[in-house]
Structure 1
Amino acid sequence: MHKVWVCILVVLSFATGAYGQVQTREVRGVVQDSLGRPLVGVTVRLYAKKDTMMVSTNEHGRFIFSHVAANDFKLTFSLIGFQLFERHYTSNVLLPITELVTVNLKEQPQELQEIAVYGVVPVVIKQDTVQYNARAYNVRKSALLEELIKQMPGLQVDRNGNVDAQGQRISRVKVNGKDFFNGDVLTATRNLPADIVENVQIIDDYGDQANITGIKNTEPEKVLNVTIKEDRNYGAFGQLTTGGGTDVNDKTRGRYIGSFSANQFRGDQQISILGSTNNTNTSLFSFGDISGAGNRNGADLSSMIDAGDGINTAHSIGLNYRDELAKGVTVYGGYIFTKRQNQTIGTTGLQSIYQNRIINSLDEVHSNTDNAKHKITWTVEANIDTANYLKITPTASYNTNNLNSQSHSTITNNRLFTERMYNTRGVATDPNFDVDIFYNHRFAKRGRNFNITSKIEYFKRNKNDYIDETSVSIDSGKTTPQKDYSLFKQNVSNFSYNRSVLLGLSYTEPVTKRSYLEFNYQYETNSIANARNTYNIDRNTQEETPVDSLSINYDYLFQSHQVGVNYQGDANKLKYTFGFALQPTKLNGKTPSRDVATRFNSFNFVPSARLQYSINRTSNLALNYRGQNNQPAFTQIQPIRDVSNPQYIVIGNANLKPEFMNIVSLQYRHFSIQNGSSLFTNLSFTHIQDKVVTNRINIPNSTKQETEFLNTNGYYDFRGFYHYSAPLAGKVLTLNLNGSMDYTNNLTYINDVRNVAKNMVFSQNLQVNFLIEDLIEADLRSSYTLNKITYNIPTFIDAGANTFSLGFGGRGYLPRKWTVSVDFSQGFNSGYSSAINVNPTLLNVYLEKAFLANDMLAVRLQGFDLFNKNTGVRREIVGNDIFDMRNNRLARYFLISLNLRLQKFPAED
């Protein structure tokens, strides 16, 4: 009995001691300058009631306090040449590691507010950047970057792998601030493992010049930047995928997929080799060319119905390299090759609306395309010294495109009827070369900069089109119906080249400690030569006869000079830029073989304005205005009749003026740290002066139409978008709402009569996500789209189409590393022509078994489109034309696949 009491006392003693010990945690973060570059040697001091600690940042700008007992503490940051900076923090007592928001030190004193950080902050909004902390989102160990992005509020990934951020398409991807595989989105999102990612940043990138001067008066590019964890920036990772199966609809060929990737990161050095081949419309590494099926539940293989038209066979391979050759000198770039073959069978219903009639056309089209592309890009980026920066990016590419198309059309125009067979065969080659150069000199006086921007581009195209048409037209209004037969065979040879040069100069001078004045000049010239030779082909002898009236050699030169001034100020939370530019332009065109010459001069006043108000650390508001000049396309100004499609004749107008656009946009972004909700909204208004529009003419007593071009005023477009996300029950349930609206006041002329077409496209989407980690992931989704158009001409009939869909998708994680997935959707379409309208029911399933440590090996059995209903339906409205299109898509097939993933990184501390 005595021994029992002794044991109890010992246990209680240990328990009391353990309870009395102070719980500690790790606190860490990153310090950068105002340009986002890591700062080395920053002294970081931690002050609390029981703690006083000090560390310095390493070469990556990172600091770590290993044993912090206090929940509330203050940090101060100091470095010679930068302001003293301090913040108060409150850490989450339940988390062993507290990752702090990145700290940006300023070179000059600036009023700052204190904020509270609650554990890991998922989203931080700072000026032109929305930063997502990857640690705040739970994904499985085998997940790729795409699956991580799908959990981030305000970001959407469609089935083709395209990423939209706050309603705008992501155009480029960077890794640690540098382009990865020429910035291709899919290559990064479907190759990089999610567990190596530190942060995902969505950046409104205004270009190299704006990043240095801070003056932003152009249209930004949406860029996704991925920062890699410090302990994952050294290592190797890759994957190998192979699979095969059967196609229920095409028993003569099987379905296959294969891909590989190998990546090695050694700090500043990155080497990646990727490749893929498949005939399942699934291009894992698209390089921006190949349209493949994306997926919702992971990125190794497709688990969604393909949303791309036709059947694709795709092959691609690429190499990406990055390294720091010397201190301050970084090189990066690579080579890519893509080849895609597409077979599409479709039906298009076309309504061409005129004052007293509607021309209806029903086209059955079978087309085959074969495209190949080589591209090499290389960038040299040099911080020559503390005052001089140089960036040079040459790019060369070579494309080949082959098209074969056969169509059967029935066209009606009241009592007139035309039936035709129209076959085309085209071959085109496009070599292209361009080089971008940017140089900046930073003077000793802070804020004084001089930079030069230059872009030189050469583009050439050789294209031959062979056209063969057979048609019969019947006039049923006559007592004896009259039949007219037409045989048309032609060879159209096109040659063109475009040489363009852009040179920009900018000088920035500080006015006060918080304001700058920029003087800029830009010269741009485009020299374009086009030769078009048309030959009629004798059907019996195949002899080609030149047609001088349809051939032309037309050259034109577009030049512009722009001189501008911008003023930028910073009033604590408000940053503003106002400016204007004077822009004289000149367009000269000439035809050596004819007496045709064009000369047009214009002078534009181009104002710009930008206001950005930081409401707090997680909310901001931005207002932008800019003007832009657009020159007409060559097909719009070539002074000849193009009859290569006899049913739709095009006539150019050499006297077209350039368009001038006025664009106003408003953006609001907010994230709530307290409840995790987020709201992103965009509004924009565009008004175009001298808008280039079409004049559609119905040729009397026929079903044929002519298109001319002219300038007019009155065009405007209003667009709106919102995305709202909020957790409903912690991380178990999440609500996502997003919607968009596009209202266009479009202008066309129909038989020389002005027509105003008011087109509204409204879309609303709802999605509820359900997540229990390592047990189930599921979502319920619905969407509705309305496409409606009204005309001001009384005899025109307004038109509208509706699309509504419901869907469910989910994955369940079963014992012994089994995974089952189901994806179901039902579409409802109305308002389309009867020959086009379908309501597809789609179902995908797969069963997967994982093997080895960390689920390195996975075997999956997949069934795609089990109901065999996958069909693409959409509507497009252009002028007085309403296109209702239905195309084949990859339908029911089964696939068994194997996926092997390997990675080796330094062991975590």
Structure 2
Amino acid sequence: MIRVSIILLFVLLSANLSFGQSTISGRVVDKVTKETLPGAYVFVKSELGETISSTFTDGSGKFSFQRPTINTYNIEVTFVGYTKSTKTIENFDGVDIGDIEISEDGELLETFEIKAQVLTGEVRGDTVAFNANAFKTRPQANADELIGKMPGVVFRNGTIEVQGEVVGRVLVDGEPFFGENPAVAMANIPVEIIDKIEFLDQRSDQAVLTGFDDGNTTKTINIITKKEVKSGLFGRLSGGYGTDNNYIATGSLNFFNGTQRTTVLGLTNNINQQNFSSDDLSGALGENGGQAGGGGRGGGGNNALQTRERDGITVTNAVGVNFSDKFDQGKAKFTGSYFFNDSRNTLNRTSSRSYILPSDSLQLYNQDRRSVSESKRHRLELRLDYDISERSAIIWRSRLSYAMSQSRNETLAQNLFDPQNPINEINNVTLGDNRWFSFDNDFTYRYKFAKEGRVLSTNITSRLNESNRDSRLTSVNTDFGTSRVDSLIQNSFSNSNSLNYRVSFDYSEPISENSQLRLQYRIGNDIGKTDQEVLQRQAESTFFELDSALSNQFENKYLQQQSGVGYRFNNEKWRIFTSLDYEVSNLNSDRLFPGFENTQRTFKNWIPRAVINYNLSEQTNIRIDYRASTDAPSIRQLQSLIDNRNPIQIFAGNPDLVQEYQQRLFARIRRVDTESSRSFFMFVSGSKRNNYLGNSTFIAARDTLIDGDVLLRQGGQFNRPINLDGFWDARSYLSFGFPVSFIKSNINLSTRANCI
């Protein structure tokens, strides 16, 4: 019923909107050749130079923007290797301003030949652009190899970092490509079709629609393709076979026809190439046994969209499709993608840990683990950007995911005083069967009033999660001190579901030519419920009985309201945003079984924010960002439920947890010298957290009862989340790149330091 209500909500919102003419379009072309120029920046500016909106040209060199409320404005076009062009528009009532011609940055001379270092790139405000030709790659390489050679780029644990910041989105010629899966684009776009690579801080959907830059950005890569591949059919097929029956086959096929683009991907292998990205293939849900979870609101269930690549050897079969197009005279943009993954993972892992006890004595923990898991996953992502009328526009995003997995885990673990003196041992076999479903929606609506800069917008987001996990545990436990051997046969059935929603209203009012005031109100509610039954087989019997110490029913509600005021100032050099919000959060948790227990908490906090962006020169940009935020404990962390699937490493939640409050400061400087092709990037960041959501570990010096019911053997560990004060961390990153002409190469030097 919840799913149906959400779908009806978005249908009704869309149905009540009226349609009309709202956009102005045009095309950017080379002044001499008249060829279109995809990927050019188009800025709409007031007569005083304030940026009203900005966009990219598409694969056909076309652009469109919402009609400004002022009568006179300038359209400014910039493109790497071309001079900047500005066109003034006065009292224009049409919808197409025609072609804007720009000239190459240089003079046409008599024919002659020169040899010089290719210009590496340039800085344009928040954007750093690099020429693909300045970096040499292997034949048949993909975009990931090209981008990996650029200054400040690092591939780490299935993610891409640019100048120390994680990339969250990839665009191709300014349009989304496979949703928010950067590694998909990196591994499936051939280098030979790439002209330029841009790294930029893309504003939030609400900031794009309203024109009010609130400082919320996503590190984004924009891949600009060459002119000759804007239309046509191209692709790549590769494969290999080797010893021990190892194999791999991959393929990609692209249909480009102006703004309409379709890409089909395929992959099969048994050599551990885990799909198009870590985001697509992870998801053997519950494989880690539900041990200490991280923070986060709402919940319950696993977030398979945020897990990392799995260790071990994975056999993978996968397919993906991406489609994008524009319609209704360019006023509407639609993108969609679908993935299917079928994988089998085998992992053998040996680990050893040493613990220093309060008595300064040492305790060892050794573990051998073997796991085999099979998983299948479907994911569908859709996005629609629509300029409904001159004053109204919407952005709608939706994601639907479903996954299932089956697993077998075998664990042999020991606690030891020293390598020759074991304390106890467990030998576990766990069979798991898991299913997970998620449905996300994000809807933003904006209305512009007649007065320039006066804007009203609303954003509605929702997320529905449901997960089911069944497991069967067989365990043999040995106590070497008493020579006692115990066995445990346990079946558990767990179901969790959650509904999270957020609604926000923002009103912006101009107070001068270069500044705006914003009032905002937000309300959100996270509703979660979990139900776990654990059945124990009785000694010398085939009957199972409910274990009330390990079973649990739990409901959690987290209501959050926030209101505040923000101020924005923009000119050609400075972009400044400050805000101050007041937040009231109410946490209400009910344990329904065993026994009823209610926990209520109210948190009140001031949430300040400040962002300063300064263009020191055309080549140098500085950004400083300070923000505060809160984080509530997850439903799993709040449950007093005990997880004893590893009897010598027991985990339980903590209903006494409170909200975490974090303050973070970030500073960045970047410079790209186009004449010398030298680049420099540096950032430092630090955070301080009050009531940090951490974990405590208790090591039993003797046999101990946990919560009066569950036995923890001598040397066993009991883990529980707690709040900690005084937590802080600091990070720094430095990168310097320069060309070396005598070997026709670029050298990038980088270093980083982290402190916790």
TM-score, normalised via structure 2 length: 0.80
Q: Which residue of 1 aligns with 2:246?
A: 255
- CA distance in structure 2 between the aligned counterparts of 1:180 and 1:96, rounded to whole angstroms: 41
Residues 585 and 603, structure 2, Cα contact 8 Å, conserved in 1:
yes
Check if 1:372 corresponds to 2:408.
no
Q: Which residue of 1 aligns with 2:440?
A: 434
Check if 1:334 corresponds to 2:325.
no
Q: 1:122 to 1:26 in 2, by over 3 A?
A: farther
SS in 1 for 2:279: coil
Check if 1:743 corresponds to 2:755.
yes
One-letter code aligned to 1:324 = K
Higher alpha-carbon deviation: 187-196 or 589-598: 187-196
Report the alpha carbon displacement of residue 497 of structure 1 after superposing the two structures with TM. 0.3
Q: 1:739 to 1:31 in 2, by over 3 A?
A: closer
One-letter code aligned to 1:77 = T
Check if 1:318 corresponds to 2:320.
yes
Q: Which residue of 1 aligns with 2:353?
A: 350
Identity among equivalent positions (%) equals 22
SS in 1 for 2:553: strand
Q: Which residue of 2 aligns with 1:413?
A: 417
- CA distance in structure 1 between the aligned counterparts of 2:107 and 2:191, rounded to whole angstroms: 25
One-letter code aligned to 1:707 = N
Q: Which residue of 2 aligns with 1:382?
A: 386
SS in 1 for 2:559: strand
Residues 122 and 673, structure 2, Cα contact 8 Å, conserved in 1:
no
One-letter code aligned to 2:403 = N
Check if 1:458 corresponds to 2:468.
no
Report the alpha carbon displacement of residue 97 of structure 1 after superposing the two structures with TM. 12
- CA distance in structure 1 between the aligned counterparts of 2:727 and 2:603, rounded to whole angstroms: 20
Q: 1:158-177, aligned counterparts within 5 Å?
A: 162-177=159-174
Report the alpha carbon displacement of residue 551 of structure 1 after superposing the two structures with TM. 1.1
Report the alpha carbon displacement of residue 313 of structure 1 after superposing the two structures with TM. 0.1
Q: Which residue of 1 aligns with 2:223?
A: 226
Residues 263 and 272, structure 1, Cα contact 8 Å, conserved in 2:
yes
SS in 1 for 2:228: helix
- CA distance in structure 2 between the aligned counterparts of 1:569 and 1:695, rounded to whole angstroms: 46
Q: Which residue of 2 aligns with 1:533?
A: 533
Q: 1:708 to 1:140 in 2, by over 3 A?
A: closer
- CA distance in structure 2 between the aligned counterparts of 1:637 and 1:626, rounded to whole angstroms: 27
Q: 1:205 to 1:376 in 2, by over 3 A?
A: same
- CA distance in structure 1 between the aligned counterparts of 2:311 and 2:78, rounded to whole angstroms: 48
- CA distance in structure 2 between the aligned counterparts of 1:666 and 1:31, rounded to whole angstroms: 26
Report the alpha carbon displacement of residue 88 of structure 1 after superposing the two structures with TM. 11
Q: Which residue of 1 aligns with 2:68?
A: none
Report the alpha carbon displacement of residue 465 of structure 1 after superposing the two structures with TM. 2.0
SS in 2 for 1:181: coil
Q: Which residue of 2 aligns with 1:807?
A: none
Report the alpha carbon displacement of residue 492 of structure 1 after superposing the two structures with TM. 1.9
SS in 2 for 1:703: coil
Q: 1:438-449, aligned counterparts within 5 Å?
A: 438-449=444-455
Higher alpha-carbon deviation: 406-415 or 670-679: 406-415
Of the candidates 471, 476, 487, which is equivalent to residue 470 of structure 1? 476
SS in 2 for 1:683: strand
Report the alpha carbon displacement of residue 539 of structure 1 after superposing the two structures with TM. 6.8
SS in 2 for 1:550: coil
Q: 1:764-803, aligned counterparts within 5 Å?
A: none
- CA distance in structure 1 between the aligned counterparts of 2:337 and 2:83, rounded to whole angstroms: 46
Check if 1:191 corresponds to 2:188.
yes
Residues 521 and 563, structure 1, Cα contact 8 Å, conserved in 2:
yes
Report the alpha carbon displacement of residue 234 of structure 1 after superposing the two structures with TM. 0.7
Report the alpha carbon displacement of residue 669 of structure 1 after superposing the two structures with TM. 0.7
SS in 2 for 1:149: helix
Report the alpha carbon displacement of residue 284 of structure 1 after superposing the two structures with TM. 5.7
Q: Which residue of 2 aligns with 1:478?
A: none
SS in 1 for 2:271: coil
Report the alpha carbon displacement of residue 188 of structure 1 after superposing the two structures with TM. 1.4
One-letter code aligned to 1:491 = N
Q: For the pair shown, which has the larger CA radius of gyration, 1 or 2?
A: 1
SS in 2 for 1:549: coil
Q: 1:604 to 1:663 in 2, by over 3 A?
A: same
Report the alpha carbon displacement of residue 242 of structure 1 after superposing the two structures with TM. 2.5
SS in 2 for 1:288: helix
Residues 185 and 288, structure 1, Cα contact 8 Å, conserved in 2:
no
Structure 1 unmatched ranges of 5 or more: 1-23, 43-58, 66-72, 99-117, 248-253, 292-306, 476-481, 745-909
Q: Which residue of 2 aligns with 1:244?
A: 241
Q: Which residue of 2 aligns with 1:129?
A: 127
Q: Which residue of 1 aligns with 2:292?
A: none
- CA distance in structure 2 between the aligned counterparts of 1:342 and 1:314, rounded to whole angstroms: 9
Of the candidates 386, 405, 408, which is equivalent to residue 404 of structure 1? 408
One-letter code aligned to 1:203 = L
Residues 489 and 539, structure 1, Cα contact 8 Å, conserved in 2:
no
One-letter code aligned to 1:736 = N
Q: 1:613 to 1:63 in 2, by over 3 A?
A: closer
Check if 1:281 corresponds to 2:272.
yes
One-letter code aligned to 1:345 = N
Q: Which residue of 2 aligns with 1:80?
A: 89
Superimposed CA distance per residue, residues 15-49 of structure 1 (whole angstroms, 9 cap, x where no aligned partner): xxxxxxxxx9979964512412449999xxxxxxx
SS in 2 for 1:548: coil
Q: Which residue of 2 aligns with 1:424?
A: 430
Report the alpha carbon displacement of residue 687 of structure 1 after superposing the two structures with TM. 0.6
Q: 1:527 to 1:131 in 2, by over 3 A?
A: same
Superimposed CA distance per residue, residues 284-337 of structure 1 (whole angstroms, 9 cap, x where no aligned partner): 63473238xxxxxxxxxxxxxxx9731110010112111223221221102110
Superimposed CA distance per residue, residues 850-875 of structure 1 (whole angstroms, 9 cap, x where no aligned partner): xxxxxxxxxxxxxxxxxxxxxxxxxx
Residues 218 and 626, structure 1, Cα contact 8 Å, conserved in 2:
no
Q: 1:317 to 1:648 in 2, by over 3 A?
A: same
Residues 490 and 535, structure 2, Cα contact 8 Å, conserved in 1:
yes
One-letter code aligned to 1:165 = V
Q: 1:64 to 1:615 in 2, by over 3 A?
A: closer
Q: Which residue of 2 aligns with 1:209?
A: 206
Q: 1:74 to 1:682 in 2, by over 3 A?
A: closer
- CA distance in structure 2 between the aligned counterparts of 1:246 and 1:416, rounded to whole angstroms: 42
Q: Which residue of 2 aligns with 1:794?
A: none
Residues 215 and 577, structure 1, Cα contact 8 Å, conserved in 2:
no
Between the two proteins, the alignment pairs up a number of residues equal to: 651
Report the alpha carbon displacement of residue 383 of structure 1 after superposing the two structures with TM. 1.1
Q: Which residue of 1 aligns with 2:258?
A: 267
SS in 1 for 2:179: helix
Structure 2 unmatched ranges of 5 or more: 1-30, 44-52, 64-74, 93-99, 283-308, 703-713
Q: 1:443-842, aligned counterparts within 5 Å?
A: 443-475=449-481, 482-538=482-538, 541-593=541-593, 594-701=595-702, 702-729=714-741, 732-744=744-756
- CA distance in structure 2 between the aligned counterparts of 1:75 and 1:289, rounded to whole angstroms: 41
SS in 2 for 1:186: helix
Residues 287 and 338, structure 1, Cα contact 8 Å, conserved in 2:
no
SS in 1 for 2:145: helix
- CA distance in structure 1 between the aligned counterparts of 2:342 and 2:652, rounded to whole angstroms: 35
- CA distance in structure 2 between the aligned counterparts of 1:401 and 1:547, rounded to whole angstroms: 26
- CA distance in structure 1 between the aligned counterparts of 2:507 and 2:322, rounded to whole angstroms: 35
Q: Which residue of 1 aligns with 2:42?
A: 32
Q: Which residue of 2 aligns with 1:888?
A: none
Q: 1:573 to 1:27 in 2, by over 3 A?
A: farther
- CA distance in structure 2 between the aligned counterparts of 1:187 and 1:395, rounded to whole angstroms: 17
Report the alpha carbon displacement of residue 660 of structure 1 after superposing the two structures with TM. 0.8
Report the alpha carbon displacement of residue 650 of structure 1 after superposing the two structures with TM. 2.2
Superimposed CA distance per residue, residues 711-763 of structure 1 (whole angstroms, 9 cap, x where no aligned partner): 2311100111111111133662432211111111xxxxxxxxxxxxxxxxxxx
Q: 1:144 to 1:278 in 2, by over 3 A?
A: same
SS in 1 for 2:549: helix
Report the alpha carbon displacement of residue 138 of structure 1 after superposing the two structures with TM. 4.5
Q: 1:521 to 1:241 in 2, by over 3 A?
A: same
Higher alpha-carbon deviation: 566-575 or 653-662: 566-575
- CA distance in structure 2 between the aligned counterparts of 1:234 and 1:614, rounded to whole angstroms: 36
Higher alpha-carbon deviation: 30-39 or 699-708: 30-39
- CA distance in structure 2 between the aligned counterparts of 1:487 and 1:532, rounded to whole angstroms: 22
Q: 1:537 to 1:445 in 2, by over 3 A?
A: same
